[in-house]
Amino acid sequence: MARADAAIVEAGGRKVRVSSPDRVIFPATERSGAVTKLDVARYYVAVEDGIMRALRRRPTTLERWTKGVHPDVVVSTRERGGGDAFFQKRVPRGAPDYVRTARIAFPSGRFADEVCPTEIAVVAWAAQMGTITFHPWPVRDDDVDHPDELRIDLDPQPGTDFADAVEVAAEARALLEELGIRGFPKTSGGRGVHIYVRIEPRWTFTDVRHAAIGFGRELERRMPGRVTTKWWKEERGARIFVDYNQNARDRTIASAYSLRPKPGGPVSAPVTWEELAEVQPEDFTIATMPARFAEVGDRHAAIDDVAHSLQPLLDLYAADEQGDMPYPPDYPKMPGEPKRVQPSRDRDRKQ
């Protein structure tokens, strides 16, 4: 049977052309059928309200898997580019005129004009370009230096799993509520849990990162032996890592409703706190999410109702005498940052 050269997807009143619509992006598994490029574009249109709440007016890095999510695909890294899957930080050439951009600054001081979605057609066009996952910055286009979102990333380390992350998330919820802050949880699309908090856009990336450190350290005190903020993997153990560096400039998390490049097309799914204790990450896929969305809507629909002060979390950070923590290794040395040396290497140097 001849393959279709192109298809049209209706997206917010625009007609978005999808070339090679039959290209398999997610191969069939024992639990799911094959997912095509056209399926991906249609999926994002089906969850329009949710994906736009997550992306609207945010500079967004596109994670593109142009040949699909297959075992033999070469993935580009920071050290080596040229792969079939890569992160697109600058707006691609030839983008339609309705694709808006926002200029952001990297830690190096360089700049880039990133895609800044303002309508669902932009998301459908990005899917046509092979985008699987959307990685929005925690800022809006009218103020790209002051985040309006705190992101708490609960990352299971070897020896822990999703159930452990859920238990830590319950304590995180209790701590937030004690501080008068409302958090909105979602699955990561893997084993982790993300909690988002809307904040007033008047603090810097450094401030927001410090707030995440303060929050993570308080969780460590409340759940000793089960939570860690240790940056070096060799020090974390079988604990849930609170990845505070996800709040540093140019670090992003897969958005709500984003597909993840894993078999079956899993989704990073917004859930209620009550649901979080009952669900499993594999419950949410490109096949199941449209029906769920049609039934219950966006579980993060109220996320923009209140913007919280960051001060209670900054007070936690200030009250802790440990000070700052290391930045990722690709960052320039940051003000106030402690010595960036792996503990084992530091011991070797002293011997």
pLDDT digits (tens, 9 = 90+) for 186-221: 999 999 999 999 999 999 999 999 999 999 999 999
Tell me the CA distances in angstroms from 321 to 203, 216, 233, 292, 316, one per residue in order.
Answer: 21, 14, 22, 46, 10
- The CATH fold assigned to 6-142+257-263 is DNA primase, PRIM domain (3.90.920)
Angle between helices 311-319 and 205-222 (to 10 degrees): 60
Q: What is the pLDDT of residue 72?
A: 87
Show the low-confidence residues of the chain (pLDDT under 50). Answer: 1-2, 351
What's the CA gap between 299 and 63, in Å, rounded? Answer: 24
Q: Could you give the residue range(s) of every CATH 3.90.920.10 domain in the chain?
A: 6-142+257-263, 149-251+306-328
Q: What is the pLDDT of residue 318?
A: 96
What superfamily would CATH give domain 149-251+306-328?
Answer: DNA primase, PRIM domain (3.90.920.10)
Q: What is the pLDDT of residue 1?
A: 43
Residues 91, 99: contact at Cβ < 8 Å?
Answer: yes
| Tokens found for residue 95 | 């983008």
What's the CA gap between 237 and 253, in Å, rounded? Answer: 23
| Tokens found for residue 299 | 């579980």
Query: Which among 170, 198, 162 is positioned nearest to 273, based on CA atoms?
Result: 170
